[in-house]
Amino acid sequence: MTERDTTSGQALPQAGPRGLAPAVLRPATRLDEGLARAEAGLGALVLLALIVVLTLQVASRQLPFFVITWTEETSRLLFGWLAFLGTAFAFQRNAHISISLLVDRAPRRLRAGAEMVVRVLIVGFAAIMLYYGLRLCLSTRMVTTVLRLPMWVAYAAIPAGGALMIVHGLVAMLRLVVTGSAAREAAR
């Protein structure tokens, strides 16, 4: 028998492994999608900045009166951030290259188990990225050569990407437990 809320009469989430999970899935999915939108927007801005900086770099090499010394360092910094933001975004969208020939032919329960193992491994790797990336950021005392920025600004892309991947992975694992599929459409 389903318990009901005394004021609204709506069914309460059931206790147990699947009882509270559906109630948590909707806000977790909103958080996941919101982070993905932020990653896409920030990634687009970083890509635009990278295009501008690289264009200036090419122009400064071709025109002798147009000397810009900071473009190479800036482009490396931007490219690092773009790579880690893009990795997290692609993980959330399940857009990384994968070989799924055997998994696609497996029974549904085995597929779900394989998806969970992959997610756990990736979240574990992302946790290592977060931990060691933070250690790197906190331990460095160096500054960049031309811009004189602290190196942690560049290195912070590593733990940021790891943290975003952890959130995306945990939401995908929750979705897998609740719906049997890590696909975002299954949660809607």
Domain assignment present for 167: yes
Residue 149: pLDDT over 60: yes
Domain assignment present for 8: no
Q: pLDDT tier at 123 (50, 70, 90 boundaries)?
A: very high
Q: Which residue has the higher pLDDT, 111 or 45?
A: 45
Q: What pLDDT is attached to residue 13?
A: 45
User: What values do phi and psi take at 93, rounded to 5?
Assistant: -85, 0
Q: Which residue has the higher pLDDT, 163 or 10?
A: 163
pLDDT tens digit string along 36-68? 999 999 999 999 999 999 999 999 988 888 889
State how far the Cα of 178 lies from the Cα of 94, in Å rounded to an integer.
18
Q: What is the mean pLDDT of the chain?
A: 87
Q: pLDDT tier at 184 (50, 70, 90 boundaries)?
A: low
Whether the CB-CB separation of 166 and 123 falls below 8 Å is answered with yes
Q: For 58-80, give the DSSP string.
A: HHHHH-TT---SSHHHHHHHHHH
Domain assignment present for 13: no
Q: What pLDDT is attached to residue 15?
A: 42
Number of domains into which the chain is organized:
1
Least confident of 11-25, 97-111, 171-185: 11-25
Q: What pLDDT is attached to residue 6?
A: 45
User: What values do phi and psi take at 8, rounded to 5?
Assistant: -100, -20
Burial 155-187 (b: 16+ CB within 10 A, else e): bbbbbbbbbbbbbbbbbbbbbbbbbebbebeeb
Q: pLDDT tier at 97 (50, 70, 90 boundaries)?
A: confident
Domain assignment present for 1: no
Q: What pLDDT is attached to residue 18?
A: 52
Domain assignment present for 9: no
Least confident of 16-20, 64-68, 171-175: 16-20
Q: pLDDT tier at 104 (50, 70, 90 boundaries)?
A: confident
The residue segments making up the domain with residue 128 are: 22-187
Domain assignment present for 15: no
Q: What pLDDT is attached to residue 98?
A: 84
Domain assignment present for 6: no
